[in-house]
């Protein structure tokens, strides 16, 4: 099989390797689509995320769709939940497996991800994908799951006013979800003009550049920071009403987040950090996408075969696209 491995910062190499052998309770999956994520950008450009650093050549990619290659589920189209918690520790037994300190996560740390032809993964983490969802769209189900988890943390209800700061794929999915729930007004900001336009198309009632002087600032009930930048956090803190919530979804490049403490303190804000998604969120995302309640296809702006990985990662680094999908 082919496998794309990150050897060092900016150093990706395509290898020919032996096919993986599934362990008991696993299936072999032929990978059909992998979405490139902001966290993949961190691994490629920085050599890690926070205290997780590159220790060996790593296969990136955790937004994965494929087809089961053998066994009783052979031929079944699936979306992979990339999070494999231990299911034994106190955190897991307390119902918070997505926060498991001993988790295996595809494309992170010591666990290879999806940028390869074949991968073995636990059967219980392979979720059936209906024909209504194309392969490239299925690679967006994991980001949709994160957006759903962030919505839950925010305690959003119909009529909630909201702001989304950072309109990459997860931010745009948040805008779609907020619109579908009957929230409003919905403010969306980003530094990149094509993302601002995408946010407007996704249903934001106020879409603008993050560089604008904010003459028409709207006070909201909840703000989502999805940029990984302190400026976006500060804007979220400013936007939210007293007693409101700020949900931090973005990953900062230098592993630090800061914000105007006096503003947040005087407002008595609740700041919550969104860590990936829960085990229930990927099935929810599949049902939502299959029913047409979210539009995943509009977010797929570039598709590349695995051997065109250089072009795919150039687009990722330059942030010129919305979602880049690699099709091994």
pLDDT in tens, 154-211: 999 999 999 999 999 999 999 999 999 999 999 999 999 999 999 999 999 999 998 8
Judge whether residue 215 has pLDDT over 70: no
Residue of 251 and 175 predicted with greater confidence: 175
Structure tokens given for 254: 């230098």
Domain range 144-273, CATH class: alpha beta
d(CA 89, CA 155): 28
d(CA 5, CA 57): 5
Structure tokens given for 109: 């740390």
d(CA 4, CA 144): 25
The three-state secondary structure class of 8 is strand
Q: Which residues contact 270 (CB under 8 A, 6 or more apart)?
A: 244, 245, 246
Region 45-51 average pLDDT: 84
pTM, to two decimals: 0.94
d(CA 30, CA 74): 10
How high is the pLDDT of residue 214? Answer: 67
- CATH code of the domain occupying 2-140+296-327: 3.90.180.10
Q: Where are the domains of the chain?
A: 2-140+296-327, 144-273
Alpha carbon 296 to its chain's center: 13
Region 106-131 average pLDDT: 96
Alpha carbon 107 to its chain's center: 13
Beta bridge partners of 248: 225, 273
Judge whether residue 246 has pLDDT over 90: yes
């Amino acid at each position: 099989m082919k496998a794309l491995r990150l050897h060092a910062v900016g150093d990706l190499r395509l290898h020919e390797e032996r096919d993986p052998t599934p362990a008991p309770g696993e299936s072999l999956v032929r990978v059909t689509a992998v979405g490139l994520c902001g966290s993949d950008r961190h691994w490629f450009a920085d050599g890690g995320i926070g205290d997780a650093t590159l220790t060996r050549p790593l296969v990136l990619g955790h937004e994965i769709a494929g087809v089961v290659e053998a066994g009783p589920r052979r031929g079944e189209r699936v979306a992979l939940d990339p999070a494999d918690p231990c299911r034994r520790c106190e955190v897991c037994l307390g119902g918070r497996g997505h926060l498991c300190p001993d988790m295996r996560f595809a494309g992170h740390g010591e666990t290879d991800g999806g940028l390869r032809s074949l991968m073995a993964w636990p059967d219980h983490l392979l979720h059936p994908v209906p024909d209504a969802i194309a392969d490239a769209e299925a690679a967006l189900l994991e980001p949709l799951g994160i957006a759903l988890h962030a919505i839950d943390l925010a305690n959003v209800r119909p009529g909630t006013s909201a702001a989304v700061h950072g309109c990459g794929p997860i931010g745009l999915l948040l805008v779609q979800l907020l619109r579908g729930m009957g929230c409003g007004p919905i403010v969306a900001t980003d530094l990149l003009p094509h993302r601002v336009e995408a946010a407007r198309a996704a249903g934001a009632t106020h879409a603008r550049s993050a560089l604008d002087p904010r003459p028409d600032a709207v006070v909201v009930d909840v703000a989502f920071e999805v940029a990984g930048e302190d400026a976006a956090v500060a804007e979220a803190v400013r936007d939210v009403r007293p007693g409101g919530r700020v949900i931090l979804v973005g990953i900062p490049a230098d592993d630090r987040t800061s914000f105007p403490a006096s503003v947040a303190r005087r407002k008595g804000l609740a700041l919550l950090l969104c860590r990936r998604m829960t085990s229930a969120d990927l099935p929810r995302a599949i049902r939502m996408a299959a029913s047409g309640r979210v539009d995943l296809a509009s977010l797929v702006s570039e598709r590349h075969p695995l051997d065109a990985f250089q072009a795919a990662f150039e687009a990722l680094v330059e942030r010129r696209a919305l979602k880049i999908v690699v099709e091994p």
